[in-house]
Structure 1
Amino acid sequence: MKQDDFLFYSATKIAKLIREGDLTSEQVTSAIIQRIHTHDSKVNAVVNKNLDQVLRDAKRADEELKKGLVRGPLHGVPITIKESFAIRGMKTTHGFTPLKEYITDFDATVVSRLKEAGAIIVGKTNVPPLLMDLQTDNEIYGRTNNPWNLNRTPGGSSGGGGAAVSACFSYLDIGSDIGGSLRIPAHYCGVYSLKPTEHAVSAFGHFPMPSNSKPPKYRSSRHLACYGPLARSIDDLILAFSIITGSDPNDMKVPPLNNNRLKRLNLNNIKIAWMDQLTDVPVAKEVREHIYLYVEKLKSLGIQTVKVDQFPVSTNKVWETWGKIIDAELNSGKPSIIRGIEHIFTKKLQKKYPTSSKLTPLTFKNYMKTLTQREELISSFDMFMDSYEMFILPVSVTAAFPHIKKDKLIGYQPIYKKPVHVDDKLMNYWKATGAYTNLFNVLANPVVTMPVGLNNDNMPIGVQCVGKRWDDFRLLHLVNQLVSELDMEVPKVSF
């Protein structure tokens, strides 16, 4: 077996080969480390490495196997974790300069569960400052580049994770998503991701702060954020999600989820909705063409497909709700006078781009009204999804675009004046990147992002496959069946 062969394998297959003695964890881990040494200076995805410890862990995993001890389904498999998750003894800076020396002394729940399943953590993957961008660049670690074209972005804020998995620096990565941060890197880098149903995965240990900092005396971020895997196979999403999901005493909102293996579905009884663009957010022709080709493949399997010309609920209300919840929860510590001034000076911007909406004045009544509007939107979308097994639509309006430099920061929010090119049109940066993804942070649905092809520039294109709330495993198994039936392979990066 050639080294290059097993580097491109799935985590599930590598785990099986290690368990059966065809490979050792030390072999696999050494090959991953060598690939990082050889290529990551160009990509800059794995920024906080654990290489000495990881080799010791790999040797220990092999010794345990010799004694008949298998820790779990990822025994001996090297993986990475987004920089914003706490890992005992490692820096957790969130790409934010004031925290560049912060070392966490505990493991996030997802980290401890992956370790218990036998995974070996090679290191952490890069993020933008405080995760507040859909590109990946910060003053501590620098910029992450897309492995398919180093001049292009891998997306963000889980851009390091998407790039690491795509470049075969890792068999699996765990990221977070509050507006597209798992799905956009998966789309731009040609890999799979799962944004689970909100609260399906514990938030404990994500975005920890030092004990000597002065955070609010309450947990403010309570909605929209989700935590899930990036991988090179749908099997790996299923495996990883089964490990990290489930109730956690450290996060009371997370319920137990039923992971019954579903029987293969009769595809002739399946109905899937799809759309190639929203009326007010046009999508590049090449992205629409790939969605159409994928839908045609689904039809060839006997699946009934229904094109939806208008999104089932008001997109403006969804975007406005997203903006108001983000503002209320992430900026709740700002003095009222500052919030008022910001609101006055951004009124035109808020009207033009609803995701920039601010909840002013920030009162209990206004906050409850916003959450109530969210619940009404969720109920309406749930009724739409009752008729369909899945809903397919774009991830973003283009494939990965050339790096765009931010013009300035307002607080911690990056400001981009340079637009994104969408065919012969120009579009606002935030609208072009996140308009299709943040819809489902508000609506709370699980979303699998899967690669469906390459454009003429040899850049990956993916689609969002949206499932019913709390039917994460059913969605995963359906996509798995479709991938199997259509014999779809993840495109491979070649440096």
Structure 2
Amino acid sequence: MFSSRSPGPKSVPPAENPLLLETAVSLAKKIRSREAKCEEVIKSYIDRIQHVNFIINAVVADRFEEAQEQARDIDTVLDAGDPNNLYPVESMPLLGVPFTAKEAFAIKGLPNTSGLVARKDIVSTSDATVVTYLRQAGAIPLAVTNCSELCMWYESSNNVYGTTNNAYNTGRIVGGSSGIVSNQGQFPNAVGQRTEFLVTGPMCRFAEDLLPMLKIMAGPSTVQLKLEEKVDLKALNFYSIEDDGGSWLCTAVDPELKQAQKMVVTHVEKELGVKVQEVKMEKLKYSFQIWSAMMSESADNQTFCELMSHNESNPVNPYKEFVKWMFGKSEHTLPAIGLGMTEKVTQLTTEQNKNFIKMCANLKTEFENMLGEKGILFYPSHPKPAPKHNAPLLTPFNFAYTGIFNVLGFPVTQVPLGLGSEGVPLGLQVVALPYNDHMTLAVAVELEKAFGGWVNPGRVEEPGDL
């Protein structure tokens, strides 16, 4: 069954077509100016997906033919000079730009299982709200991508589509993102207070694309944001917290990640001429407990076991499923079964819930008092760089580093900081108070300029590259 000749982890080959290395903003301009044909752009992305997807298993269903047809229609109109102004730039800033969405989001004609075997035959008959907004802006959906079972685990693996591999190292897992965007048309969708915690946002290779994408995806919610407001980085107050203070539930932050964060602090102090204050927040030590209490606060929420069964009146028995899993008979993944069991055995008492909910409110107040309307916080994205496959089973609570800001309701921008010694991306999260996304996005642009941002997977770095 095993062979020493089996290939080890590898990265995907680098993207070489110049169109694949353009920002979305740049592509849209080139399509309008006719420097590039829309069909050419769409085909370049389809070719790239077909070239690498057998390695990483990211795309699980596509609409390539429909996308190419849409692209040809756009080219026909633009080649004629768009005499009827069918594609106004003001309302369609992403004309012809391709995008993908998590399979948990509905795209008409594509599956919408969220990795749940019980939903394997479900095909979307309409678009999720966020997909509608992107289409209205001229963007073209290409495909849907993999997720964990019911989107409740931080490894994209399920029994419908299998496991997704990291593009930089196929032996590692992949990650996700969030923001102030409608979840309508996503399964599972949140109800009650959880609508404030289950949020959606753009994931882009280039920081330049984040703000225009967020403006489109947020729809009417954009009015709550200040995305048109110019940000003076030198007028901001910066803070840095190097870890959660030593929670016994989470692993220690990797030294490389700490060093990357220190490099960011040094850059900000040197280039912006400001002082970054190193602070500690004792309550962060209880991030998972706070997250768990806040997630279970609303009495009208479905349990995870109910979601697993896709039938509220007949929830899955996770203990029975575990026995079935041991014999290869369960339709569910081990992480999903484990989450179901955890839900059963570690439900907090009402008194414990009250204590941690109160702690959440106090922690939020502490952050509000510290950050104010001009404050930016640097905090680790995760205790470790991209873990190996299945490793999250041994460190299930490490997600609390991001989960805590979901329940606090703070906007976060995840920023890549180049590759570490293991060949996978390093990074940190940039945090601000609600509706200050424009500040975190501006900081992301600055850090991309300083540290290079997204790295083309498989690129051979020359000596001296940083």
Shared fold per TM-score greater than 0.5: yes
Judging by fraction of residues, say which structure has more strand. Answer: 1
Matched, 1:442 2:407: yes
Match of 1:488 in 2: 452
Match of 2:272 among 267, 277, 302: 302
1:41-60 superposed matches below 5 A: 41-60=54-73
Cα distance in 1, alignment partners of residues 125 and 353 from structure 2: 35
CA contact (8 A) 1:148 1:459 kept: yes
- Rounded to whole Å, the distance in 2 between the matches of 1:130 and 1:437 is 18
Letter in 2 for 1:323: S
Q: Which consecutive residues of structure 2, in runs of 5 or more, have no partner in the other structure?
A: 1-14, 307-311, 320-337, 460-466
- Equivalent pair of 2:293/2:356 in contact (CA under 8 Å): yes
Amino acid aligned to 1:265: D
Instruction: Specify which of 360, 365, 381 is matched with residue 395 of structure 1.
Output: 381
- Residue identity opposite 1:324 in structure 2: A
1:359 is displaced (CA, Å) by 4.1
Residue identity matched to 1:38: H
Secondary structure at the aligned position of 1:321 is classed as helix
The answer for unaligned runs of 5 or more in structure 1 is: 159-181, 183-194, 210-215, 248-253, 343-348, 407-415, 420-428
Displacement of 1:79? 0.6
Shift of 1:141: 1.0
Moved more, 55-64 or 140-149: 55-64
Higher helix fraction: Structure 1 or Structure 2?
A: 2
Q: Quote the residue 1:205 is aligned against.
A: 185
Partners of 1:493 and 1:332 in 2: CA distance: 36
How far apart are residue 290 of structure 1 and its match?
Answer: 1.0
Paired residue secondary structure (1:245)? helix
- Structure 2: how far apart are the matches of 1:303 and 1:57? 49
Identify the residue that residue 38 of structure 2 maps to in structure 1.
25
* Map of 1:322 onto structure 2: 291
> 3-state SS of the aligned residue for 1:33?
helix
Written as runs of structure 1 = structure 2, the 5 A alignment for 1:118-197 is 118-155=138-175, 158=176, 182=177, 195-196=178-179
Q: Give, in angstroms, the shift of residue 55 of structure 1.
A: 0.8
My pick for the range that moved more, 317-326 or 26-35, is 317-326
Cα separation, partners in 2 of 1:65 and 1:457, compared to 1, 3 Å: same
Q: Could you tell me which amino acid in structure 2 is paired with residue 99 of structure 1?
A: R
| 1:226 equivalent in structure 2 | 199
Shift, 1:260, TM fit: 4.9
By how many angstroms is 1:258 displaced? 4.1
Q: 1:9 aligns with which of 22, 27, 33?
A: 22
Q: Partner residue of 1:179?
A: none
Scaled by the length of structure 1, the TM-score of the pair is 0.74
Following TM superposition, by how much is the alpha carbon of 1:125 offset from its aligned partner in structure 2, in angstroms?
Answer: 0.7
| Number of equivalenced pairs | 403
Which residue in the other structure is 2:330 paired with?
A: none
Q: 1:123 to 1:25 in 2, by over 3 A?
A: same
Matched to 1:322, the amino acid is W
* Structure 2 match to 1:467: 432
Structure 2 length-normalised TM: 0.78
Contact 1:277 1:283 in 2 (8 A): yes
| 1:80 and 2:46 are equivalent in the alignment | no
- The match for 1:177 is none
Question: 2-side partners of 1:385 and 1:287: how far apart?
Answer: 23
* Residue among 266, 271, 280 paired with 2:246: 280
**Kindly, what percent of the aligned residue pairs are identical?**
25
- What value does the CA root-mean-square deviation take over the aligned residues? 3.3
Is the Cα–Cα contact under 8 Å of residues 28 and 95 in structure 2 kept in the other structure? Answer: yes
CA apart distance, 1:124: 0.3
Distance 1:206 1:100 in 2: 15
The answer as to whether partners of 2:246 and 2:285 remain within 8 angstroms in 1 is: no
Shift of the 235–142 alpha-carbon distance from structure 1 to 2, 3 Å rule, reads same
